[in-house]
Amino acid sequence: MFIVNSYFLAVILCVVTMICWGSWGNTQKLAAKNWRYELFYWDYVLGILLFSLLIGFTLGSHGELGRSFCTDLMQLSGAAFLSAIIGGIIFNASNILLSASVSLAGMSVAFPVGVGIALVLGVILNYIGQPKGDALLLFTGVALVVIAIILNGLASGRQQKGGGSGRKGIILAVVAGILMSCFYRFVAAAMDLDNFESPMPGKATPYTAFFIFSLGIFLSNFLWGTLAMKKPFQGEPVSYKTYFGGSRGTHLVGILGGCVWGLGTVLSYIAAGKAGAAISYALGQGAPMIAALWGVFVWKEFRGADTTTKSLLTMMFGLFIIGLALIVKAGN
């Protein structure tokens, strides 16, 4: 299987993770305008699961190092399987709650609160689980990225017209952030992060862990996704009949979104062997800044912004770059 043997390459993969995590949302914009998020999300989770199989039977099965995907899957212990699948269940719940928070309180509230909490708590949990890297540089970099996310929220808030159900949205964002901070640790616990070439018996390679994690997302969506459809936080309930009535192109766009997110996720797990789980997670959670870049330069969401908003965006990107540099430096 493909294994990363240098810290520099691990950082590159983490940057790709950040780009993927910050870009998959574009596919929702490309889907049909009347295609609800609850319907799009089914194609998204299906795309993640399909991609986990594709990457498992390609990069996870070819090469001289490590166990192949099928061999690794067959020897996986019950504890490792349960840990990875719990990670998928937790991630799915957090992602749906965060999306609901966006619909109620707006992105300017949901992302600074939800992703900010997920970033700080997630790095702490992953660093405790695998204390790898310079703690001072790592947490200073994380603090700067959190400030950048807050500035992004302030800039987005100045562009929004009208309000939302703010209090309920904030509560959902807090719960989503706490849950999101936990999922990565469960998946990391299923792997032998110290030795991908010859993992200890019962532990998973990144490819197997990603597949089980994806399976947890997909299976849990029959609960979380159905609840979101039948009891949406905003709008009328939607049915499975509506989902199956969607066009092939609309479904394919959602599946593409899942593949993009899945690529970023599996690369993060692969990179964790060299960079450490905390650094891999921290770099990936810089995704809101990538999403902000799409919004500024592609979707023109800040067209006509005033001077204050532009200053907030400038400071945001500056702090983001410095924060990422410190996180990368923490692993040297």
Classify 191 as helix, strand or coil. strand
Whether 108 shows a pLDDT value over 70: the answer reads: no
CA 273 to CA 170: how far, in whole Å?
35
Whether 328 shows a pLDDT value over 90: the answer reads: yes
pLDDT at 170: 83
pLDDT at 162: 52
Q: In this structure, what token pair is assigned to residue 40?
A: 């799009």
Mean pLDDT computed over 59-68:
88
CA 293 to CA 25: how far, in whole Å?
12
Q: How many CA atoms lie within 13 A of 73 on its CB side?
A: 16
Classify 204 as helix, strand or coil. strand
Most confidently modeled range among 21-25, 130-134, 152-156: 130-134
Percent of the chain with pLDDT over 90: 71
- Return the closest-CA partner of residue 179 out of 112, 109, 91, 287: 91
250 vs 214, 228, 239, CA distance in Å? 21, 19, 16
Amino acid identity for residue 139 in this structure: F
Mean pLDDT of the chain: 91
Cross-strand bridge partners of residue 191: 204
What is the pLDDT confidence band of residue 165, given thresholds at 50, 70 and 90?
low
Query: What is the length of the chain?
Result: 332
162: left (phi over 0), alpha (psi -120 to 50) or beta: left
Asked whether 326 and 139 are in contact (CB, 8 A), the reply is: no
Whether 261 shows a pLDDT value over 70: the answer reads: yes
Asked whether 14 and 275 are in contact (CB, 8 A), the reply is: yes
Whether 164 shows a pLDDT value over 60: the answer reads: no
190-196: Cβ within 8 A, 24+ apart: 190/80, 190/81, 190/83, 190/84, 190/87, 191/80, 191/269, 191/272, 193/130, 193/272, 193/273, 193/276, 193/277, 194/273, 196/3, 196/65, 196/66, 196/270, 196/273
Whether 104 shows a pLDDT value over 90: the answer reads: no
- Angle between the N-to-C axes of helices 166-189 and 206-230, in degrees from 0 to 180, rounded to the nearest 10: 150
pLDDT at 157: 80
Most confidently modeled range among 5-9, 22-26, 296-300: 5-9
Buried/exposed code over 231-240 (b: 16+ C-beta within 10 A; e: otherwise):
ebbeeeebee
DSSP at 161: -
Q: Can you give the pTM of this predicted structure?
A: 0.92
CA 252 to CA 243: how far, in whole Å?
13
Whether 202 shows a pLDDT value over 80: the answer reads: yes
pLDDT in tens, 212-239: 999 999 999 999 999 999 999 888 999 9
CA 318 to CA 314: how far, in whole Å?
6
